[in-house]
């Protein structure tokens, strides 16, 4: 399946903004985890279970409003595209969302000593979750 856009700028903006949205969701997940840790709340109940309940209900009546379920992991948002694409959008169109994501990601960098090890740990965690 494919989509035809009016101009290449639209398809490129769509791809970049898709990753900004993903980064926004990662930041939200990590902040919920921080809130839960600070207030001694069960993250699995507050975030994961509640999001599943929300998604189960809305998927029947409004499937366009389901939410991603992520797993928080210490350290910055890594990978080859999410933050670089957020930087690109921020350079093209400065806005509070991309600036907030980038500021938070700088703070997340201080959560770990070795980002390379953090990334390898994250990949192991994702493989385990996905049962690869």
Burial letters 57-87, b for 16+ CB under 10 A, else e: eeeeeeeeeeeeebebbebbbbeeebbebbb
Tens digit of pLDDT for each residue in 46-78?
999 999 999 999 998 998 999 999 999 889 998
How many Å separate Cα 30 from the centre of its chain?
Answer: 9
Across residues 16-32, what is the average pLDDT? 97
Query: CA torsion, points 64, 66, 68, 69, in degrees to nearest 10?
Result: -160
Alpha carbons within 13 angstroms on the beta-carbon side of residue 49 total 6
Q: Which two tokens stand for residue 121?
A: 């740990």
Q: What is the pLDDT of residue 47?
A: 97
Tens digit of pLDDT for each residue in 27-44?
999 999 999 999 999 999
- Which is nearest to 95 in space by CA: 43, 17, 15, 38? 17
């Amino acid at each position: 399946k494919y989509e035809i856009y009016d101009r290449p700028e639209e398809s490129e903006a769509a791809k970049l903004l898709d990753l900004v949205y993903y980064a926004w969701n990662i930041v939200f997940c990590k902040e919920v985890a921080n809130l839960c840790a600070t207030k001694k709340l069960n993250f699995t109940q507050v975030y994961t279970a509640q999001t599943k309940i929300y998604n189960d209900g809305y998927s029947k009546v409004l499937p366009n409003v389901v939410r991603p379920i992520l797993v928080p992991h210490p350290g910055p948002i890594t990978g080859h595209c999410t933050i670089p694409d957020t930087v690109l959008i921020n350079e093209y169109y400065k806005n509070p969302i991309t600036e907030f994501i980038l500021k938070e990601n700088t703070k997340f960098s201080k959560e770990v000593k070795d980002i390379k090890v953090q990334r390898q740990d994250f990949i192991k965690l994702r493989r385990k979750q996905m049962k690869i």
